Chains A and B, each alone.
Chain A
């Protein structure tokens, strides 16, 4: 045990002697959470709108004013012909064009109908769909006010938005960022720990020491685990204080689940470390191999339920996906453990498999 503690202490020295690395390890999660927490949004706030008004009457002017007054749209300029639309899209100066047909207002007054053309830049399907929806809502609003004395008849929907009534995407993205950042930092830290010893040849020294493979692996993980605890706590504090994400469930449970998650991430890094021969390879796997899958398949930005079935299956092996479910459930829905035991078991199981695989792989070297 004393020998083991000595080994752990040595690892600590290694980490902290390298001031820059230590600063990066603690500073990076904070900087990233702050930056992305403020910058990553789903709501679209500045839609560049072009208007091609071939009618120029009070009705088209009224609709134009309403669209622009909504705050979501920013008038780009007035278009003079259909042919300008293509050029404006290609240069990225415009997201949406609204086209009023000639005689729009007159026909609307006379027959009560009109055709409004909404052309969007479909190269971004998501923005395209949303801005079309925004425009339609504003026009519908206008119509409702135009029809005098209309009382609502039939079924009147009363929506009740649970957990996040103002539909803020912060509440969605901050937990997601926590998962992403913790996952990457933790896996990154351990992934080169053993590989480095392999490369510099010091591993042989360790192997001939009286420490067993389990002790060596544990000794490598423990210091990083303590570091990660600090990271978890800072990230959580930032989420509560800076971003005002509520914690409706138990904070203790949240911290415990977070610790479990960093264990999973650390053991994943450890596993990468045991299977690679060079630091370069270890880094490429832990970075190149984790960055995009974690962003895309965890449900951080794109809902897992929206993915095609094969991808939903693949997403099951992404630890961040399960952690994300847990964090969102605890923070936003106030769920307690009875709702989360399944996700917790999955993370625990992943950790166990990764640790066993690392120890086995590492022991092979001994023979």
Chain B
């Protein structure tokens, strides 16, 4: 109990750390959750209307009036078009060829070129989709304007009625908030525990503890319990923010979330402790922790879907505790999954927790003897 009190005192005495532990994560949660969106809006559009007819103006009008694009300039030479894209003033250049109107009148068809900045392949695909949609719209209108295109026979159609369950508005923050919260809790837990023992070693106080009558499991419990409590506290605060600021629904049970979180924190803290026992300086511990943290974060499915990774990477993510907890949080909060649905990731986490703690304790004994 004394060591428990000592650890708590140490944490709260360190004024510099308090805001970092208790404020920084939540500022990040509030700000960053809004940043993660793939919505493509206000695409800068450059227009090259070489025809300058009433029909070409009409097509251009469809683009500028669509709400997807914002016109940033007009020009007439191919070089200028490329220049605009390189200078980031345009992501789409609409090139309406000379004879646009004439061709439409005579043959009923004419090509129109879209030059799309495909640096970002995903955005480019979306932009292409927008453009195709506008053109389809324009073509439909064309049928009423042009006399010759009345020969369309039976038009076959399949209406796609799409619906997205759990999140019909496709609100991105609902998806991100639980995930970002997990990463923040992990960050704090991993670093606090990772720096802890190695710090005692660096400052030499570990020897004093070693010669004290404290048993090693008592020592480890005393070290980890405060962080465990802090971790759960942060999670609680994060959930409150998710609810109040982002209106993220909570379809599952809170109890389940806490049950999983308490096991998950053991994984994180055990891992931190393990790092702490295998390294000699705080600097080393920090680099190792950083290394894993970056890998865990980027391979957690938080930002890019696990489904889009190559198969070997998908298998690799099974080793990633963050992946499992992010997955569980999303499922419980957004889909109301119960214990049965999350059994597999939960058991995996429990297994890691046991493994990490066992390793850390074993390693710690070796270090002290």
Chain A residues at the B interface, C-beta cutoff of 8 Å = 18, 20-21, 24-25, 28, 31-32, 35-36, 38-48, 85-87, 89-92, 95, 108, 112-129, 132-133, 135-136, 139, 142-143, 146-147, 151-169, 171-172, 181, 184, 188, 192, 196, 276-281, 283-285, 287-289, 291-293, 295-297, 301-303, 305-308, 311, 314-315, 325, 328-329, 332-335, 339
Q: How far is the CB of B260 from chain A (nearest CB, A)?
A: 15
Residues of B within 8 A of A302 (CB): 35-38, 303
Interface flags for B33-44 (1: CB within 8 Å of A; 0: not) read 011111111110
Q: Contacts A25-B287, A128-B164, A285-B20 given: A172-B157 contact, CB under 8 Å?
A: no
Find out whether the CB atom of A333 lies under 8 angstroms from the CB atom of B307: no
Interface residue from A32, A48, A127, A306 paired with B39 (Cβ < 8 Å): A306
Q: What's the Cα separation between A334 and B119 when bound, in Å?
A: 12
Residues of A within 8 A of B17 (CB): 278, 280-281, 284
Q: What's the Cα separation between A182 and B238 when bound, in Å?
A: 30
State which residues 85-143 of B face A: CB under 8 Å: 85-88, 104, 108-125, 128-129, 131-132, 135, 138-139, 142-143
Find out whether the CB atom of B158 lies under 8 angstroms from the CB atom of A291: no
Leading 8 A-B pairs by shortest Cβ distance: A122-B164, A167-B121, A154-B139, A122-B167, A39-B313, A125-B170, A161-B118, A123-B334
The residue in B88, B191, B294 that gathers the most chain A C-beta atoms within 10 A of its C-beta is B294
Find out whether the CB atom of B162 lies under 8 angstroms from the CB atom of A120: yes
The residue in A108, A152, A158, A284 that gathers the most chain B C-beta atoms within 10 A of its C-beta is A284
Find out whether the CB atom of A192 lies under 8 angstroms from the CB atom of B154: no
Residues of B within 8 A of A154 (CB): 104, 108-109, 135, 138-139, 142-143, 149
Interface assignment of B258: CB less than 8 Å from any CB of chain A: no
Interface assignment of B336: CB less than 8 Å from any CB of chain A: yes
Query: Which B-chain residue is minimally distant from A280 (CB atoms)?
Result: B195
Q: What's the Cα separation between A163 and B120 when bound, in Å?
A: 9
Q: What's the Cα separation between A36 and B149 when bound, in Å?
A: 52
Residues of B within 8 A of A91 (CB): 337, 341
State which residues 313-368 of B face A: CB under 8 Å: 313-314, 316, 327, 330-331, 334-337, 341
Query: Which A-chain residue is minimally distant from B83 (CB atoms)?
Result: A339
Find out whether the CB atom of B35 lies under 8 angstroms from the CB atom of A296: yes
Residues of A within 8 A of B330 (CB): 123-124
Q: Contacts A18-B284, A153-B139 given: A132-B162 contact, CB under 8 Å?
A: yes
Query: Which B-chain residue is minimally distant from A156 (CB atoms)?
Result: B111
Stretch of B24-32, B210-218, B220-228 with 4 or more beta carbons under 8 angstroms from chain A: B24-32
Interface assignment of B12: CB less than 8 Å from any CB of chain A: no
Find out whether the CB atom of B160 lies under 8 angstroms from the CB atom of A118: yes
Interface residue from A44, A92, A118, A172 paired with B119 (Cβ < 8 Å): A172
Task: Give the number of residues in B that approach A within 8 Å (Cβ atoms).
Answer: 120
Find out whether the CB atom of A163 lies under 8 angstroms from the CB atom of B160: no
Find out whether the CB atom of A288 lies under 8 angstroms from the CB atom of B24: yes
The residue in A95, A126, A160 that gathers the most chain B C-beta atoms within 10 A of its C-beta is A126
25 contacts between A and B (CB under 8 A): A31-B291, A40-B309, A41-B308, A45-B307, A89-B335, A112-B155, A116-B160, A123-B334, A125-B170, A127-B307, A135-B160, A154-B109, A155-B112, A155-B135, A158-B111, A172-B120, A184-B290, A188-B290, A279-B199, A279-B283, A291-B293, A301-B36, A302-B37, A305-B41, A306-B37
Interface assignment of B16: CB less than 8 Å from any CB of chain A: yes
Find out whether the CB atom of A125 lies under 8 angstroms from the CB atom of B175: yes
Find out whether the CB atom of A153 lies under 8 angstroms from the CB atom of B32: no
Q: What's the Cα separation between A105 and B289 when bound, in Å?
A: 58
Find out whether the CB atom of A162 lies under 8 angstroms from the CB atom of B115: yes
Residues of A within 8 A of B331 (CB): 90, 92, 123
Find out whether the CB atom of B191 lies under 8 angstroms from the CB atom of A288: yes
Residues of A within 8 A of B184 (CB): 288, 292
Interface assignment of B54: CB less than 8 Å from any CB of chain A: no
Q: What's the Cα separation between A44 and B86 when bound, in Å?
A: 28
Q: What's the Cα separation between A156 and B139 when bound, in Å?
A: 9
Find out whether the CB atom of A32 lies under 8 angstroms from the CB atom of B327: no
Interface flags for B161-173 (1: CB within 8 Å of A; 0: not) read 1111111101110
Find out whether the CB atom of A306 lies under 8 angstroms from the CB atom of B40: yes
Interface assignment of B269: CB less than 8 Å from any CB of chain A: no
Q: What's the Cα separation between A166 and B121 when bound, in Å?
A: 8
Q: How far is the CB of B94 from chain A (nearest CB, A)?
A: 10
Residues of B within 8 A of A334 (CB): 86
